[in-house]
């Protein structure tokens, strides 16, 4: 079975720009969660999508938005980038009822805002 794939791996953007990060979930998983991880900290929950609907959201402003597609892949969009948005963005897929197997994480996208 394939794992979670994220693209791009690295990205440099200018403050005020917009960015789109992509995630392909593991085969058989219909739920995707996005996390932001600043250097030296644990991940912070951004939101989760289940069957193309937002299923929960963390404490992030509306300029963080997402989509999930019929094939369960997902996008994270961030508008009006700020310097503090510089972080590792992680995507994790899961299957409800099988959380004992854990969430499968991608390798992340390292976003640098200058």
Partner 1 sequence: SQELEQSPQSLIVQEGKNLTINCTSSKTLYGLYWYKQKYGEGLIFLMMLQKGGEEKSHEKITAKLDEKKQQSSLHITASQPSHAGIYLCGADLSGGNYQLIWGAGTKLIIKP
Q: Are 92 and 37 in contact (CB under 8 A)?
A: no
Using rule CB under 8 A, residue 8 touches partner 1: no
User: Is-cis flag, bond preceding 56, omega within 30?
Assistant: no
Q: Kindly tell me which residue out of 16, 28, 61, 96 binds partner 1, with binding defined by CB under 8 A.
A: 96
Give the torsion through C-alpha atoms of 87, 12, 109, 57, to 10 deg.
Answer: 50
Q: Which of 15-23, 61-69, 71-79, 95-103 is the region at the interface with partner 1 (rule: CB under 8 A)?
A: 95-103
11 binds partner 1 (CB under 8 A): no
- Which of 21, 90, 111, 113 is in the footprint of partner 1 by CB under 8 A? 90
């Amino acid at each position: 079975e394939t794992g979670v794939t994220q693209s791009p791996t690295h990205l440099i953007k200018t403050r005020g720009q917009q960015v789109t990060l992509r995630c392909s979930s593991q085969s058989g998983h219909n739920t995707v969660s996005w996390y932001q991880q600043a250097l030296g900290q644990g991940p912070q929950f951004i939101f989760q999508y289940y069957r193309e609907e937002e299923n929960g959201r963390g404490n992030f402003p509306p300029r963080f938005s997402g989509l999930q597609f019929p094939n369960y892949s997902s996008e994270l969009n961030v508008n009006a980038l700020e310097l503090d948005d510089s972080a590792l963005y992680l995507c994790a897929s899961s299957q409800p009822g099988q959380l004992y197997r854990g969430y499968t994480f991608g390798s992340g996208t390292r976003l640098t805002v200058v």
